[in-house]
Chain A
Amino acid sequence: SHSIPVRSSETEDLRVDGRGCEDYRCVEVETDVVSNTSGSARVKLGHTDILVGVKAEMGTPKLEKPNEGYLEFFVDCSANATPEFEGRGGDDLGTEIANTLYRIFNNKSSIDLKSLCISPREHCWVLYVDVLLLECGGNLFDAISIAVKAALFNTRIPRVRVLEDEEGSKDIELSDDPYDCIRLSVENVPCIVTLCKIGYRHVVDATLQEEACSLASLLVSVTSKGVVTCMRKVGKGSLDPESIFEMMETGKRVGKVLHTSLQSVLHKEESLGPKRQKVGFLG
Chain B
Amino acid sequence: MAMEMRLPVARKRLSESLGRESKKHLVVPGDTITTDTGFMRGHGTYMGEEKLIASVAGSVERVNKLICVKALKTRYNGEVGDIVVGRITEVQQKRWKVETNSRLDSVLLLSSMNLPGGELRRRSAEDELAMRGFLQEGDLISAEVQAVFSDGAVSLHTRSLKYGKLGQGVLVQVSPSLVKRQKTHFHDLPCGASVILGNNGFIWIYPTPEHKEEDAGGFIANLEPVSLADREVISRLRNCIISLVTQRMMLYDTSILYCYEASLPHQIKDILKPEIMEEIVMETRQRLLEQEG
A and B interact:
yes
Whether the pair B140, A283 counts as a contact (CB closer than 8 A) is no
Whether the pair B5, A27 counts as a contact (CB closer than 8 A) is yes
Judge whether A274 is part of the interface by a CB distance below 8 angstroms.
no
- Contact of B168 (CB < 8 Å), options: A5, A253, A277: A5
Binding-face segment, B8-16, B17-25, B40-48, B95-103: B8-16
Whether the pair B6, A25 counts as a contact (CB closer than 8 A) is no
- Contact of A18 (CB < 8 Å), options: B11, B171, B271: B271
Interfacial residues of chain A within 1-53, with CB under 8 A of chain B in the complex? 1-2, 4-5, 8-9, 12, 14-20, 22-30, 44
Interfacial residues of chain B within 1-60, with CB under 8 A of chain A in the complex? 1-11
In the docked arrangement, what's the CA distance between A264 and B6, Å?
9
Interfacial residues of chain B within 231-253, with CB under 8 A of chain A in the complex? 231-232, 234-236, 238-239
Judge whether B269 is part of the interface by a CB distance below 8 angstroms.
yes
Whether the pair A28, B7 counts as a contact (CB closer than 8 A) is yes
Across-interface contacts of A24 in B (CB, < 8 A): 2-4
Across-interface contacts of A44 in B (CB, < 8 A): 8
In the docked arrangement, what's the CA distance between A29 and B9, Å?
10
Whether the pair B138, A1 counts as a contact (CB closer than 8 A) is yes
Across-interface contacts of B171 in A (CB, < 8 A): 2
In the docked arrangement, what's the CA distance between A253 and B228, Å?
26
Across-interface contacts of B5 in A (CB, < 8 A): 27-29, 261-262, 264-265
Judge whether B148 is part of the interface by a CB distance below 8 angstroms.
no
Whether the pair A26, B273 counts as a contact (CB closer than 8 A) is yes
Interfacial residues of chain B within 146-184, with CB under 8 A of chain A in the complex? 166-171
In the docked arrangement, what's the CA distance between A28 and B10, Å?
12
In the docked arrangement, what's the CA distance between A9 and B269, Å?
14
In the docked arrangement, what's the CA distance between A26 and B272, Å?
8
Interface size class of B (residues with CB under 8 A): 35 or more
In the docked arrangement, what's the CA distance between A246 and B140, Å?
35
Whether the pair A265, B7 counts as a contact (CB closer than 8 A) is yes
Interface-central residue, B1, B169, B238, by most chain A CB under 10 Å? B1
Interface size class of A (residues with CB under 8 A): 35 or more
Interface-central residue, A8, A18, A22, A264, by most chain B CB under 10 Å? A18
- Contact of A23 (CB < 8 Å), options: B234, B269, B274: B269
Interfacial residues of chain B within 250-284, with CB under 8 A of chain A in the complex? 267-269, 271-274
User: A14 with B169: in contact, given A24-B4, A265-B6, A279-B9 (CB under 8 Å)?
Assistant: no
Whether the pair B167, A1 counts as a contact (CB closer than 8 A) is yes
Whether the pair A2, B170 counts as a contact (CB closer than 8 A) is yes
Contact with A along B95-139 (1 / 0, CB 8 A): 000000000000000000000000000000000000000000011
Whether the pair A261, B4 counts as a contact (CB closer than 8 A) is yes
In the complex formed, the residue of A with least CB distance to B267 is A18
In the docked arrangement, what's the CA distance between A78 and B238, Å?
30
Judge whether B190 is part of the interface by a CB distance below 8 angstroms.
no
Whether the pair A18, B235 counts as a contact (CB closer than 8 A) is yes
User: A28 with B140: in contact, given A17-B269, A283-B11 (CB under 8 Å)?
Assistant: no
Whether the pair A1, B4 counts as a contact (CB closer than 8 A) is no
Instruction: Tell me, rounded to whole Å, the shortest Cβ–Cβ distance linking A124 to chain B.
Output: 33
Whether the pair B228, A23 counts as a contact (CB closer than 8 A) is no
Binding-face segment, B61-69, B71-79, B218-226: B218-226
Across-interface contacts of B273 in A (CB, < 8 A): 26
Given A18-B239, A23-B2, 12 more pairs with CB closer than 8 A = A1-B221, A5-B168, A8-B225, A12-B228, A16-B238, A18-B232, A20-B269, A24-B4, A28-B5, A28-B6, A261-B3, A265-B5
User: Which B residues contact A (CB, under 8 angstroms)?
Assistant: 1-11, 138-140, 166-171, 221, 223, 225-226, 228, 231-232, 234-236, 238-239, 267-269, 271-274
Q: What would be 7 A-B contacts, judged by CB atoms less than 8 Å apart?
A: A1-B166, A4-B223, A18-B239, A20-B2, A26-B6, A26-B274, A261-B4
